[in-house]
Each structure stands twice: as structure tokens, then as C-alpha cells.
Amino acid sequence: MIERFLLLSGGYFPEALRKTVLFHAKESMEQARRDGALLWTDLPLFDLSPLPWSHGIISIPRSFWQRFDTDRAYYGCLVRRSAQVCILALHADPYHRERVALVSGLCMLHEVPFCAHLF
């Protein structure tokens, strides 16, 4: 089965953008469903949960995320096993931009398709 990852670049999004972020998350989830892909996401770790949760969408557990001592190790593990990675990021936040650059670079290294939704 094809595996895709829908990731947040960081935990903070202004309240005014939460609906927009969730809209894009739902679109990615619907696309994965149409393509018959298994979609892993870390959105619930950041209290962003696009409901309804549907079959084929798996939340990355906090215990998995906490096993890694760096963002590079966490994202690197996910990218290596993925068919596609999509990240949601707040463009104005330097932390988010760093995560986008990191994940983009890892995707290029492993030749994994990458997309970013910048808000």
C-alpha cells in the first residue's frame, strides 16, 4: 500500500488560520483516500484534528515522535518510508521555514515527492 505523510511544521498556528489549515489537511486526506493511499499525520499532536477521521488515516503517536532527539531524525525516518510528503507551514515563522527546508531537503535526498502548503 502507498504511504503518504501529512505533517505540521510546528505547533503554533494563529487561531485565524486554523480553519484554513484544516481545510488543506482535509483536501490532502481526501486525495489520499481517492488514491487508495495510507495517510499518516501528526496533526493531532498539535491539537489540529480534521474530523471526521476516516479509514486509512493514521495518527502518528506521541510516543513515536518522542523517540527522536532531533527534528532531522524524526522527519528522516518518515521520509524514507513515504511515497509522498506534504507539510503545512506558517511562512512568517522562522521555525516553520526551517522545518520546511529540512523536510524538502530530505525529500530531495530520498527522491520522495514533496509539497508544502504555506500560510
Q: What is the pLDDT of residues 100-112, one digit of tens each?
A: 999 999 999 999 9
- Of 104, 113, 112, 81, the closest CA to residue 1 belongs to 81
The pTM assigned to this predicted structure is 0.83
Residue for cell digits 498539535? 46
- Of 39, 80, 89, 35, the closest CA to residue 59 belongs to 39
Q: What is the pLDDT of residues 53-97, one digit of tens each?
A: 666 778 888 888 889 989 899 899 888 878 889 998 988 889 889
- Alpha carbons 3 and 96: distance in angstroms, whole number: 23
Yes or no: say if 58 and 40 are a contact pair by the CB < 8 Å rule.
Answer: yes
Cell numbers describing residue 102: 529540512
